[in-house]
Amino acid sequence: MKAWVWEGKDTLRLDAGYPDPVARPGWVVLKVRAAGVCSTDVSIIRGRVCAWKAPGVLGHEICGEVVELGEGAKGVDTGDRVVVETSVGCGICVQCRTGNKHLCQDAGEIGFPPFDGGYAEYVAVPDNCCRKMPQAMTDEQGAILEASICPFGRIFRDPPQAGATVLVQGVGVAGLSFIQAVKCFGATTVVAAGRNQSRLEDARRFGADVVVNTREQSLEETVRKLTGGRGVDVSIDAAGAPVTFKNALSLCAPGGTVHLYGLASESAQMPLAVDDVVFRQLTIRGGTNNELAWTPLMELIAHGRFDNAGMVTHRFGFDELPAAIDIVDRHPDGLIKAVIKS
């Protein structure tokens, strides 16, 4: 089969004779129908993230069709169209048994070595990583579902109270997903903050009620005025910078919840005012994957309550992956998500 093999920094090679995946017991083989291009993959290829060793086939945002079942594989059949929930756990530890296999001590992930991913014609995945797609969802929508599942999954675990006021800092894919997620669970007013006006307009289009360009406006003044000086009920940092971390805590109301999602650079200093957290009784939560949230999110998408179709802004053929990597790396205005299709 054809596969794009990551061989090291800035090195992707199209291998027309890459070994076909094997449907081992409990696994299935998918024909990849579409794959999202994630900024994490770009950072790995560019050498900015060094947690994995080459070579390997990247790509962890996958929509595929089941074409082969391994012995004992359950829950899907050939011909089923699925998205891939990428965490691979041991299956027997407490984390795996409670919907947290991404926290398994032996966890890995499809699309990160040693597990090959979706930048190939076919990929093998465990049967319990397959989530059947509603007929109303397109391949593109399935391919980028993983980009929204971490933000949505965080809110799925700890939804805001009905009528809550929410601050979302960061207006990339994660921020847009958080905005929609809190609205799905009953938030009344969402404030989106960022530094790029084009992306703030995206935030408004995806449901933000108030947008704040922090280059031109005071976020603190806006939030205090909106909330009568109290602060927001839920404060989300989807940017991961020292200033957004500080704002996330300081602009959260007493007794409120802070969700941390954006990752800071290794050199960034993120001081935590512990006394402020204690005396204002803030709850601070982090979150990555949530395997229990995939099907509920797809149902919301299928019923028109969560828009991920509008996030696909750039489309490429399979042989154009290097061009897709390049545009995601440059991230021009107008880009939200890029997808490659077979």
- For the chain, which domains are there? 3-144+308-341 (3.90.180.10), 149-286 (3.40.50.720)
H helix intervals, the chain: 39-45, 94-97, 139-143, 145-157, 173-184, 197-205, 219-226, 242-250, 274-279, 294-302, 321-330
Token pair 């990752």 is found at 263
Handedness of CA 115, 117, 121, 126 (dihedral sign): positive
Q: What pLDDT score does 269 carry?
A: 73
Q: What is the dihedral of CA 235, 241, 245, 250, to 10 degrees?
A: -90
Q: Which residue pairs, CB below 8 angstroms and at least 24 apart, start in 260-264? A: 260/284, 260/285, 260/286, 261/150, 261/151, 261/154, 261/170, 261/174, 261/178, 261/236, 261/237, 261/286, 261/287, 262/169, 262/170, 262/174, 262/237, 262/238, 264/240
* Adjacent-strand bridge partners of 189: 165
Cα 287 to Cα 262: distance, rounded to the nearest angstrom: 10
Q: What is the mean pLDDT of residues 294-307?
A: 96
Whether pLDDT at 40 is above 70: yes
Cα 77 to Cα 253: distance, rounded to the nearest angstrom: 49
Q: CB burial class (10 A; 0-12, 13-18, 19+) of residue 229? A: exposed
Q: What is the mean pLDDT of residues 6-35?
A: 96
Cα 259 to Cα 282: distance, rounded to the nearest angstrom: 11
Q: How confident is the model at residue 287 (pLDDT cuts 50, 70, 90)?
A: confident
98: its two tokens: 């409670």
Q: Rounded to an integer, what is the distance from CA 269 to the centroid of its chain?
A: 24
Span 301-315, pLDDT tens digits: 999 999 999 999 999
Whether pLDDT at 18 is above 70: yes
Q: What is the mean pLDDT of residues 242-262?
A: 95
Closest listed residue to residue 83, CA positions, set 113, 116, 123, 39:
123
Is the distance from CB of 223 to CB of 231 less than 8 angstroms?
A: yes
Q: What pLDDT score does 267 carry?
A: 63
Span 136-148, pLDDT tens digits: 999 999 999 999 9
Q: What is the mean pLDDT of residues 162-168?
A: 97
Q: How many CB atoms are located within 10 Å of the residue 17 CB?
A: 8
Q: What pLDDT score does 136 carry?
A: 94
Whether pLDDT at 200 is above 80: yes
Q: How confident is the model at residue 262 (pLDDT cuts 50, 70, 90)?
A: confident
- Coil, strand or helix at 188: coil
Query: Residue 335 — φ and ψ, nearest 5°?
Result: -85, 130
Q: For the chain, give the percent of residues with pLDDT over 70.
A: 99
Q: CB burial class (10 A; 0-12, 13-18, 19+) of residue 135? A: exposed
Is the distance from CB of 282 to CB of 249 less than 8 angstroms?
A: yes
Cα 66 to Cα 274: distance, rounded to the nearest angstrom: 50
Tell me which H or E stretch contains 3: strand 3-8
Q: How confident is the model at residue 99 (pLDDT cuts 50, 70, 90)?
A: confident
